Amino acid sequence: MEEKLISKKKPFYPISDNLKHFLKKYDRWMESNIGYDDLLRFTGSVTVFDKNDKDSLWVSVYYSDTERKEIDSFLKTLYTLLHSDGNSSSIPDLNIDAIDYCTFGNSKPFRIKIRNILNDNFTYFYVKKADASRVYGLEFEHMLSPYNINFLTNNTTLIEEHIAGIPGDVFIKEFLPKCTAAEKAQIAKEYVKFIERCMIRLLGDMRAYNYVVIPIHDFDHVIYKIRAIDFDQQSFEGRFSVYRPQFFKENFPLMTVIREKLSHDSICQYKIEERSTVSRRLINSGNRIEYLIEIMKGDVLSLEENLERLKNEIYIFTKDAAFKESKSMGDLMQAAFDYTRRNYENVSLRDLL
């Protein structure tokens, strides 16, 4: 089904001067002489296998000695910028354990494993090509989801922190069947809210491997949260279904759990809760999101035919003329946020079941 939903490979959109000014204002901008393209100068690679000895679609890359020294220094500096103030005092205590390159997907990121040699604690971060669409997606995630997210960018390179959790496809296959009835009901609730959040902020392509499920131990039981990890398809595709995760076949097992565990009234309640929560976040984000939307209105972030199709499909869904009158994806986002603030209690079940 997703082959029909996702039309074609999304291009990378440049970061405009106005967006650059926004990113500098909110400490998202970095200055660097080397970046993503420099990491492509690896001399060889080795396939990375998962715990079941299957190809993970990542390869571990290696460089010449002279290249590796420069790249290691660059990556350690990026880590200190991303997680602290860029102070170089901690750099001697850091080691780059692995540089992996993803051969699958649109963004083809590098995954960096970095370790503190004093205590062996390690974490990951990602180096990707800069893309205005993804930057907007990250900012919306930061302001409108329950989660803050760290990232830095310049005109060529985007750095993202690692989001820990169980990949959705792995969770559905290996963990969901073992969940208790109560846990499945709680997962169903979280997934309804996740669907609603993606639709409101037009985050597309939430196939199971593009989000993670996060188990949290709470007193004597485990609760589950769901969090997006890929923001490549922010406001690009022309099909409204792309922004509604229930239409991807990989997510059907979770939709089955929703139907089995939640009544129509419960689904309605959870959708109202999420729309209300997003509405409050829109209000609380104040000038920051208004400033970002004004910039987005002037940026080109999709194909003209995608914009025309999407605004008409959302108009049919909402009957709100503001969508039909939109001239850009920024206008469309403004209409979506205005509609959410005005109509979060106007919930229809047909879009979910």
39-63: pLDDT as tens digits:
999 999 999 998 888 888 899 999 9
Q: Which of 48-52, 68-72, 83-87, 247-251 has the lowest mean pLDDT?
A: 83-87
Let me know the angle formed at the C-alpha of 305 by 203 and 350, rounded to the nearest 5 degrees. 50
CB 312 within 8 A of CB 331: no
The amino acid occupying position 228 is A
Question: What's the rounded mean pLDDT across residues 197-224?
Answer: 94
Mean pLDDT score of the chain: 91
199 pLDDT higher than 70 = yes
Rg (CA), the chain: 21
328 pLDDT higher than 60 = yes
Higher pLDDT, 54 or 23: 23
Q: Which of 4-8, 37-41, 157-161 has the lowest mean pLDDT?
A: 4-8
Q: Which of 3-12, 109-118, 157-166, 220-229 has the lowest mean pLDDT?
A: 3-12
Confidence at 34, pLDDT banded by 50, 70, 90 = confident
Q: At what angle do helices 304-318 and 329-343 cross, to 10 degrees?
A: 10
147 phi and psi, to 5 degrees? -125, 135
Which pTM was predicted? 0.92
Higher pLDDT, 50 or 208: 208
Q: Which of 2-11, 34-43, 199-208, 254-263 has the lowest mean pLDDT?
A: 2-11
Using DSSP's 3-state secondary structure scheme, residue 59 falls into: strand
Question: What's the rounded mean pLDDT across residues 93-119?
Answer: 92
Q: What per-residue confidence (pLDDT) applies to 347?
A: 46
350 pLDDT higher than 50 = no
Q: What per-residue confidence (pLDDT) applies to 32?
A: 84
Let me know the angle formed at the C-alpha of 210 by 347 and 189, rounded to the nearest 5 degrees. 35
For residue 304, what are the CA distances in angstroms to 67, 92, 187, 301, 307? 42, 50, 37, 9, 5
Question: What's the rounded mean pLDDT across residues 231-235?
Answer: 94
Q: What per-residue confidence (pLDDT) applies to 1?
A: 41
Token pair of 241, please? Answer: 């279904």
CB 245 within 8 A of CB 198: yes
SS3 content of the chain, % helix, strand, coil (to 5): 50, 20, 30
Measure the CA–CA gap between 204 and 133, rounded to whole angstroms: 11
Question: What's the rounded mean pLDDT across residues 261-274?
Answer: 94
